[in-house]
Amino acid sequence: MPRFGITAVVFGMVLSACTLPQMTYGEAIEFCRDKADAAAGPQGTVGLSVGTGGTNATFSISLSDSYLRGDDPKVVYETCMNELSQNGQISGVSE
């Protein structure tokens, strides 16, 4: 009988590791908006800092695969929300 208990615990841990992350409706909207924004065009950041060691400048640009494919940002948003809903990843009450 002890083997059954150990097996059940291990199996439960494996299943919990495979579950999809949950998010609130607001978090889902923000997540999908970010994906749609990335599909709309290149995203970039610029940074400048001054310290005792001198000045430091940084620049970063990213291109999403949706942008490179030419996907419509509205379609990217709707597809994202539908997938999250169908996968049961959205929890809580809608806003």
pTM, rounded to two decimals: 0.66
Q: What's the length of the chain?
A: 95
In this prediction, residue 13 has a pLDDT band, given cuts at 50, 70 and 90, of low
Beta strands in the chain (DSSP E): 23-24, 43-51, 54-62, 90-91
Residues 31-84: tens digit of each pLDDT: 999 999 999 999 999 999 999 989 999 999 999 999 999 999 999 999 999 999
What residues pair up with 67 in beta bridges, in sequence order?
none
Res 33: pLDDT? 97
Res 58: pLDDT? 94
In this prediction, residue 88 has a pLDDT band, given cuts at 50, 70 and 90, of confident
